[in-house]
């Protein structure tokens, strides 16, 4: 459930008219519901109430400081994949000991930053990375807590770009190799083995892949125990899907039941890394119609939000429902909803049955809270849009709209061109 509802044929976020926000700050902008964010996090966390766990919000889904602070206030930990996300997390108030560092390409500077910060653990993706972490920990006279990210070769049946647990994916260490890497880690003086990590993909709408992956990981945990390696944390990653169109993902309670039933006889602390399932349906992108255009074959609705604002349709051919902010009384038409970017791939929807809107009308691109602003860019020198959060009958801008002056911040013309 989310808090974007029509009242008298006009879209509201909680108790605030979306049109009112657009009148005050302009378009495009991302709009988040505080009530939805809070409800989704609590629903997910409470689903695992029968087991020792740490829910670490996946920062890459949405790194706005206000959203991070909200989850931090609810007791969340944080899953990060870069030094920048670590910086944002600490800035938002997360304790380093509740931060897990994932990702295949950690740099020396990022590893040092995490070691000096005192994070909960690194999810290590290769023997070379493990060796580098050992070297940096020795240099800094630190102990590095680690888990190995094990690739269980489970098909999550999702888009190939967001599948992460197959042998052909770049992530993790294959199960039969992981045992040898753990043995190597045991001999490293500045490495402390604390966990095991497994993440199979994103936007998964069936619990079976999670169950299959967990059964493979449990076998490895038992083998490690025989070698004298005690695992404290089992990180099962994230990946639970949401409804964009006609998907029917499992409720967090159903997802939790699969994991809890398999782990209730163990003493493991379960770490979870939800992202999309918490923020996806808690945010929308609001855009204005600039023009309508009829070609020989198609009709186009041209809006002021482009692929630089929301990349998912272009990158994944992803579906986002598009709703009029004020329901018109006219018929529906079939049209492409496209942006102002000079790319044929700049679209929000193709061949979509949509309300027959016109110049100046507002459209809401639904389910845009995850991987929306986080993936946005300044392509075509377009300032990135604003972000807004609604709390009951009040809204605040939580990221101001960029200006043209922001576009060349940090740039300079070299002396030999002056």
Same domain, 237 and 366: no
CATH number of the domain within which 352 lies: 2.40.37.10
* Domain closes at, from 235, 258, 279: 279
* Domain closes at, from 239, 263, 279: 279
Cβ atoms of residues 279 and 76 within 8 Å? no
Same domain, 374 and 355: yes
Residue-wise pLDDT tens digits, 89-143: 999 999 999 999 999 999 999 999 999 999 999 999 999 999 999 999 999 999 9
Whether residue 190 lies inside any domain: the answer is: yes
Q: What is the pTM of this model?
A: 0.93
Whether residue 407 lies inside any domain: the answer is: no
Strand partners, 388: 31, 397
Average pLDDT, the chain: 92
Q: What are phi and psi for residue 301, nearest 5 degrees?
A: -105, 115
Whether residue 313 lies inside any domain: the answer is: yes
Whether residue 139 lies inside any domain: the answer is: yes
Whether residue 410 lies inside any domain: the answer is: no
Whether residue 327 lies inside any domain: the answer is: yes
Predicted local confidence at residue 63, as pLDDT: 98
| C-alpha atoms less than 13 angstroms from C-alpha of 212 in its C-beta half-sphere | 14
Instruction: Write out the catalytic residue numbers.
Output: 342
Same domain, 313 and 184: no
Whether residue 411 lies inside any domain: the answer is: no
Predicted local confidence at residue 159, as pLDDT: 40
Matching residue, tokens 């087991």? 51
Same domain, 292 and 382: yes
Whether residue 339 lies inside any domain: the answer is: yes
Q: Where are the alpha helices (DSSP H) in 272-350?
A: 276-279, 312-316
Same domain, 223 and 169: yes
Burial readout 374-402 (b: 16 or more C-beta within 10 A, e: otherwise) = bbbeeeeebebbbbbbbbeeebeebbebe
Same domain, 365 and 322: yes
* Domain closes at, from 212, 245, 279: 279
Q: How many domains does the chain have?
A: 2
Residue-wise pLDDT tens digits, 135-165: 999 999 999 999 999 988 775 554 443 344 4
Domain extent, residue 10, equals 4-32+280-402
Same domain, 275 and 298: no
Same domain, 378 and 238: no
CATH number of the domain within which 51 lies: 3.20.20.10
3-state secondary structure (DSSP) of residue 363: strand
Q: What is the mean pLDDT of residues 183-208?
A: 89
| Nearest residue to 355 (alpha-carbon basis) of 388, 379, 385, 331 | 331
Give CA–CA dist 149/144, Å, rounded. 15
pLDDT over 70 (residue 202): no
């Amino acid at each position: 459930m989310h808090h974007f509802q029509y009242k008298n044929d006009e879209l509201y976020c909680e108790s605030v008219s979306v049109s009112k926000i657009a009148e005050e700050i302009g378009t495009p902008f991302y709009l988040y519901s505080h009530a939805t964010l809070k409800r989704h996090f609590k629903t997910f966390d409470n689903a695992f109430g029968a087991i020792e766990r740490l829910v670490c919000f996946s920062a890459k889904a949405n790194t706005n400081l206000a959203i991070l602070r909200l989850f931090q206030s609810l007791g969340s930990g944080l899953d990060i994949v870069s030094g920048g996300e670590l910086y944002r997390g600490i800035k938002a108030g997360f304790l380093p000991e509740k931060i897990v560092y994932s990702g295949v390409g950690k740099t020396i500077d990022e590893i040092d930053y995490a070691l000096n910060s005192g994070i909960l653990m690194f999810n290590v993706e290769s023997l070379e990375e493990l060796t580098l972490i050992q070297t940096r920990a020795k240099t800094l006279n630190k102990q590095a807590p680690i888990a190995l990210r094990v690739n269980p070769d489970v098909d999550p049946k999702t888009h190939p770009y967001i599948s992460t647990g197959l042998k052909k994916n770049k992530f993790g260490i294959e199960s039969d190799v992981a045992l040898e890497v753990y043995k190597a880690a045991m001999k490293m003086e500045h490495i402390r083995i604390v966990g095991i990590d497994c993440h199979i993909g994103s936007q998964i709408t069936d619990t079976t892949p999670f169950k299959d992956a967990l059964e493979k990981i449990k076998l490895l945990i038992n083998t490690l125990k025989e070698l004298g390696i005690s695992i404290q944390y089992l990180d099962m990653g994230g990946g639970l899907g949401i409804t964009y169109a006609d998907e029917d993902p499992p409720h967090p309670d159903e997802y939790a039941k699969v994991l809890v039933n398999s782990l209730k006889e163990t003493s493991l602390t379960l770490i979870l890394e939800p992202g999309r399932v918490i923020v996806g349906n808690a945010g929308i992108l609001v855009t204005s119609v600039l023009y309508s255009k009829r070609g020989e074959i198609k009709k186009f609705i041209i809006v002021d939000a482009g692929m630089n604002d929301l990349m998912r349709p272009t990158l994944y051919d992803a579906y986002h429902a598009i709703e009029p902010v004020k329901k018109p009384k006219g018929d529906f038409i079939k049209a492409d909803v496209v942006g102002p970017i000079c790319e044929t791939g700049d679209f929000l929807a193709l061949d979509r049955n949509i309300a027959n809107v016109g110049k100046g009308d507002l459209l809401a691109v639904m389910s845009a809270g995850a991987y929306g602003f986080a993936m946005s860019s300044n392509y075509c020198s377009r300032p990135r849009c604003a972000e807004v959060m609604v709390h009951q009958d009040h809204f605040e801008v939580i990221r101001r709209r960029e200006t043209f002056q922001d576009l060349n911040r940090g740039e300079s013309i070299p002396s030999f061109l002056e």
